[in-house]
Each structure stands twice: as structure tokens, then as C-alpha cells.
Amino acid sequence: MDYINFAFLILSSGFFLFLSVSSIYEKEKRASLISFLFALIMAPLWGGLIILNSTPVIRIINLTILSFAFIILVISLIKYFPKKPLPNIEKITQFDERDHMFSRMSMQKFPDNSEKYYKLNPDMEAVDKKIAKDPNLGDPGAKFYDKYYSPIVNSAFTLLERTSEIRSGKTSINKNNLDVNEVSKTIRWMANYYGAIEIGITELKEHHLYSHHGRHEKNWGDPVTNKHKYGIVIVVKMDQDMIGQAPSLPVLLESAKQYVESAKIAHLVAEYIRELGYDAVSHIDGNYEILAVPMAKDAGLGEIGRMGILIHRKLGPSVRLSAVTTDMPLPPSDLKDEHIEEFCNICKKCAVNCPTGSVPKEDKPANRNFEHWSIDQQSCYSYWRKSGTDCGFCIRVCPYTKKDTFIHRIIRAYISRNPVNQRIALIMDDIFYGRKFRLKTQDDQKKFFKVSR
């Protein structure tokens, strides 16, 4: 028994020490301190059992602890989740881009369109007009506005809008005899080379496309006519230190930066495919014909979490997406179920911490004929306009928002095995990282910019 106790002493102390060091690298002070304390507790616990287990009472306690640890260890290896019903994709209705909060805000500048829209949706008029009175993201008057940093956001979005001209282009006439598997590998390499974390490929389904355009005056209300059969979703990573400043301005600066990065890669990939003789169109922030989140899920990149956005397999919600649609018959990526949705069922950290209560606490409702979570766009976006940032506090608090370190890979693999592991992981996450988080203030923002200059 002493050998087993000794093995547990080394393994448990080693694990918590490693977590403590890894948390220093991640700048997670609380997690580092608590794991260090856990590592300290392990030594007297197992050491005491080794020294004292000659007494019968201690032997019984020791046996009980070892049996319990052994049962937990065996359970942690079991791979089992109850089967989830698959959505009937034939029945899913398309989302109309005109209903999107951003579209409803840009529509305020075009009275003809808004008149048509509010005739059909009278309930939304009062709330939209109220939100539109607050400053635009990046404009003066909002809580986290900064006269030096906020205009960076506007420059990024203006640049993005200018690049919308190059979303499509002429296809080369030299269609080479190409192996699509090799092309897919090359696109993957190319996307990584230019800064993507991962790409996923899927066959396009009807519900991946908006039904109608809604963001720009020129094609407002026109049906989306994209006839491509294949889609590539590009994932770029958001900087954890910037996300850690939520809901202050650094989050919006980071979002804007990563939208630019993801757009750059999407434009390049589309250009590359056209160079090979196939048609391709890039889809970037403000100029999507597709809904990147369900497309990313079907491309095997992750799952749709409680906050209604993609929870990437490795980086959680801390990512931004762009896409390319094409007629090149690229092989779809493998689907991997990491059971993130099951974790969202029990976690609810984003819902508990959202300052506006926009993230649902309830089970997934059926919306557009399939069950999925979506946030209250109005209350969330209203908060964005008042604060002058895109908030991101739900992203900040999510247990999946962790650096892709060795230790978090082990924990993610552990979470993906069964519901018991998920419960244990959630309790540990609450202990190590906390359940309720503090919103960053204007003073925090000032300090952050001062230090990061």
C-alpha cells in the first residue's frame, strides 16, 4: 500500500505543481496560488498515510481514500454520453440578415429600408430607435471611449469594408488537373502560414446561408444567391490578455484586429482557389452571405455554446471566424464530438456573469426549427453601444477560454469523456478560477494601456 500512496503523492503533487507553474505563464494568479496550496496539502496527506498506516484505523481510512481515488480514476477513463437527437436539417429555416442587430442599426441610415422593415416588424422599431441614440462602437460618448485608442477600431472596420470589393474575382482559365486532397492540405498549410489556427471544410447546407441580404443599402432585401457547394471556415485566435480586460476597450481592439486577420486569410484563400481555376468568394466581418457559426460546427471546428457562438475545440469562444465558399469539391473535414454542449448544460458561467442577463440560463429553446442557444441580441448590443466596446465578458469567463497548454489539453480530453468528469471539472474550475468575475473598470483600462504602451 505504501508504494500506491507514494505514487499518489508524486502524481497529485506533481500535477498541482505543474498547474501552478502553468497558471503563472497564463497570468492566472488565483489558479496558480490555489494549485500551489493543493500541491502543499498533498505531501502531508499522502505522507501522513505512509507514516501512520500501521494503525488499524488509519489503514481503513487509507483503504477508503485509495478505493475512492481508484473509482474516480476508472470512471474518468470511461467514454460515455447519452445519445443526442440529431436536428432535422431539412426543416431548419434560414436566418434573414435583415433581422441581425448590426443590420437593423445600419438600416437606420436608410429611411426607405427601415420603413419597409418596421412595417413587417413593428415590435422592433421602438427598441432599435432607442439603441441607435447611443454612440456607435468606436465613437465618442461611450463609457470606455478613448480618444487615442477607439479610432483604431474604426480604422480597422473601415479597412475591412474597403476590402469587400475583392471578395470575388475572375477565375483563372488554366484549370489544372488537381488532386483536391492535395489542394485541401495546401489550403490548410497556407491558412496556418498566414496566421490561422485551424480551418474546417464542409458541404454547404441551405441553413448555412442567410436568406436575404440586410447589412448594406445596395442589396438590402435581395435574396442571397450563393450557389457554391463547399465552404471553408477559417479560425483565428484572440489574445487572452486582451480578452481578460473585458468588458473594456482592449476587447474591441482585439476583435477588430482578428476580424482584419481572418479577412486577410479568407481573401488570400479565395484568391488562391480562383488561381487554380475554380470560383471562390470570401466572407468577412460585415460582408458575410453565410452564418459562420453553424458552418464552423459542421466543419468539425467545435460546437455552438450557451452564448450562441462557436466554442472552438482548443480555444473555446476566444476566436474569430471568416469563410470562403467555392465550387471546388474539397473533401469535408471529420466531425469530432467533444461534448461541449453537454458541458454548457451544466456550466452556465456566461449566463451567471453576463452584465445584462442576455445569455439564457434555460435549456436550449427551439428556434428556426432546431434547438440551439442564442443570446438576447437587443440587450447585449445595447450594452455594447453604452460601453463603446463589444464587451466579451461571457468569453472572458468561459472555462474553455484558456491558453492551449498541455495541462488544458489534458483537461479538455477529460471533459470530453463523460458527464461525471464534466461535473468534477466544473467544480474544479469554480475553485481554481472562480464562479463570479469582476467587470473591468475605466481605471483598469487606463492602467492596461499605460503598462502595454
Helix 249-275 to helix 150-163 angle (10° resolution) is 20
Instruction: Write down the least CB distance from residue 448 to ligand SF4, Å.
Output: 18
Stretch binding ligand SF4 (CB under 6 A), from 34-42, 350-358, 405-413, 417-425: 350-358
Name residue, grid cell 502595454.
Answer: 452
Residues for the chain: how many in total?
A: 453
C-alpha dihedral over 285, 289, 292, 297, to 10 degrees? -170
When asked if residue 307 is in the footprint of ligand SF4 (CB under 6 A), the reply is yes
When asked if residue 256 is in the footprint of ligand SF4 (CB under 6 A), the reply is no
**CB distance 320 to 238 below 8 Å:** yes
Distance in angstroms (rounded) separating the CA atoms of residues 221 and 217 = 9
Stretch binding ligand SF4 (CB under 6 A), from 57-65, 152-160, 260-268, 355-363: 355-363
Strand partners, 328: none
When asked if residue 377 is in the footprint of ligand SF4 (CB under 6 A), the reply is no
Considering only 393, 432, 433, 448, the residue that binds ligand SF4 (CB under 6 A) is 393
Strand partners, 231: 202, 325
When asked if residue 383 is in the footprint of ligand SF4 (CB under 6 A), the reply is yes
What is the total count of residues that contact ligand SF4 (CB under 6 A)? 27
When asked if residue 39 is in the footprint of ligand SF4 (CB under 6 A), the reply is no
Question: Which of 315, 407 has the CB closer to ligand SF4?
Answer: 315
Q: Which sign, positive or negative, has the C-alpha torsion 22, 24, 25, 30?
A: positive
Instruction: Write down the least CB distance from residue 419 to ligand SF4, Å.
Output: 14
Distance in angstroms (rounded) separating the CA atoms of residues 236 and 350 = 21
Return the C-alpha cell found at 56: 488499524
End-to-end Cα separation, the chain, in angstroms? 57
When asked if residue 208 is in the footprint of ligand SF4 (CB under 6 A), the reply is no
Question: Which of 236, 359 has the CB closer to ligand SF4?
Answer: 359
When asked if residue 319 is in the footprint of ligand SF4 (CB under 6 A), the reply is no
Considering only 100, 208, 213, 306, the residue that binds ligand SF4 (CB under 6 A) is 306
Q: Which residues bind ligand SF4 (CB under 6 A)?
A: 247, 305-307, 311, 343-344, 347-350, 354-356, 358-359, 375, 380, 383, 391-394, 397-400
